[in-house]
Amino acid sequence: MADDLIFANGINATTGQALMPPLTSAAVARAALGLRYANGALRELEAKIRTEATHGIIAGINPEDLAEAGWGVIFAAQEAADVPALREALAPLLALRQAQAGALYREYDGDWAYYPRESKTGWLARVGGEPGPVDPEHVPYYLLIVASPEAIPFSFQYQLDVQHAVGRLHFDGPDQLDRYAAYAATAVAAERGEADGRSWSLPRRAAFFGVASPDDDATGLSSDYLVAPLAADLRARQPDWNVTICLGADATKERLHGLINGPERPAFLFTASHGMGFPWGHPLQARGQGALLCADWPGPRQWRDSAIPDRFYFSGDDVADSARLTGMISFHFACYGAGTPRLDEFSHLTGAAGRAQIAPVDFLACLPQRLAGHPKGGALAVIGHVERAWGASFIWNNTSAQLAAFRSTVRCLAAGGRVGLAMDSFNLRYAEIATILNELIQEAKAGAVVDDRTLAGLWIANNDARSYIVVGDPAVRLPLTNPTANPITRI
């Protein structure tokens, strides 16, 4: 690992080369000095640190209990014509959450829907909430956005997620209502532990899939410093879990195909790899962006200046119609693994003027849509990254692994915690890094000498921690078999 280089995951699908070349700390530090936070955003991030012990909720509330924490769904005013059909497709899930949350259940549509270009603070003020610790009497802690990222932007989701537990559902295509209905049926069956009149649950089985391609620093780092330690931590902390590890050359497309489509698919799947990046206008961008590049790819030195064939990567098209994904949760560390913004967050780091356009609109990746909306029962949640994913997620100052946020999330999910609550460790990381970064920037502007590596690492980590999202209902949790009970039939 080069001492002064910062690596992003992600491969250009048309050339086989990195989406972005390694960056020097000095170049990133110069960009960091121009950071500006939106009005009130920094104050709320600072408040997040002070409410660490309560996960952003006012004291005395149990965040695992929807009757105390509340649950709500947010629709977009821009898509108002679609809301009746969406509500009908999701009716079983909405009815379940209403029964669980009681008086703290909310549906934000009509006058309470999200309006174009509305800020998080503006929307909260309009519906009776406020920045800072969540009071579920005013706005629920768990909030499900049901809208495209074009209608309700990723930026709104990022900021709402600082204190709330937020997820998003959106499906493209003519069968989208069927996919919403399939997701709702899966979520209800998992929560009740019953489907088709019989009890069911998932064995405590996890799989960790870490690609490490030849001559490729980015995937070498994620395999050695992220995937392997996370798998070891789960084995040590939760010995009742059966943990499968696929690293390096073993992390092939065939192996991932088996983990997702085969009979031994895990309840929890964690992958780390390059995400595929297609240029704006490419016919495969919508379907292939964020697809997972597997170990079949021979690496950047052997594969030069040539488009990458689909036999090297796993996309939504590779999820079989026969797959039985019911109840699983997956986490994909990959560029664009959850979605792609219209504008590039990092193009100015390479000398471009302003933010380059990389897609016609903000959009969710195809793979998580396919996993969550599978007609035979899909994943309850897919956790992934919007935009580029960086080694700064787990390597601090290019010196040592820092996995607290990842470990906390995996441990919480393995213990049966709700996914939105499990992801709060990333929100806390974002809040703390942002606060430290702002202080450092102010010192630098006042004339203090600030180490480029420290400033650059903080800036990248700030952007990276902010951009993990949940595709799915944030209140879902793994429907796990009790390890001391008799086996229960599994779907």
Per-residue pLDDT 10s for the chain (491 aa) are 445 667 667 899 999 988 877 777 787 777 777 666 555 666 666 665 555 545 678 989 999 999 999 999 999 999 999 999 999 999 999 999 999 999 999 999 999 999 999 999 999 999 999 888 899 999 999 999 999 999 999 999 999 998 999 999 999 999 999 999 999 999 999 999 887 677 889 999 999 999 999 998 889 989 999 999 999 999 999 999 999 999 999 999 999 999 999 988 999 999 999 999 999 999 999 999 999 999 999 998 898 878 999 999 999 999 999 999 999 999 999 999 999 999 887 766 655 556 788 999 999 999 999 999 999 999 999 999 998 887 766 776 555 567 889 999 999 999 999 999 999 999 888 888 888 888 888 888 888 888 887 888 788 788 788 889 999 999 999 999 875 543 333 33
159: CB partners within 8 A, 6+ apart: 38, 41, 44, 119, 120
Is residue 467 within 8 A of residue 385, CB to CB? The reply is yes
Q: How far is CA 428 from CA 54, 164, 366, 388, in A?
A: 11, 11, 28, 20
- The predicted structure's pLDDT at residue 176: 97
Domain locations along the chain = 5-38+198-468, 55-195
Rounded-to-integer distance, Cα 301 and Cα 214, Å: 8
At the second CATH level, the architecture of 55-195 is 3-Layer(aba) Sandwich (3.40)
* Count of Cβ atoms closer than 10 Å to residue 85 Cβ: 12
Amino acid type, 97 = R
- The predicted structure's pLDDT at residue 120: 92
Residue of 209, 76, 31, 67 lying closest to 140 (CA atoms)? 67
For tokens 């079983």, name the residue. Answer: 92
Amino acid type, 437 = L
- The predicted structure's pLDDT at residue 344: 83
Which pTM does this prediction carry?
0.91
Q: How far is CA 269 from CA 171, 273, 373, 426, 439, in A?
A: 22, 13, 17, 18, 37
- The predicted structure's pLDDT at residue 336: 95
- The predicted structure's pLDDT at residue 109: 97
Tokens describing residue 217: 């620093």
Is residue 452 within 8 A of residue 350, CB to CB? The reply is no
* Count of Cβ atoms closer than 10 Å to residue 455 Cβ: 23
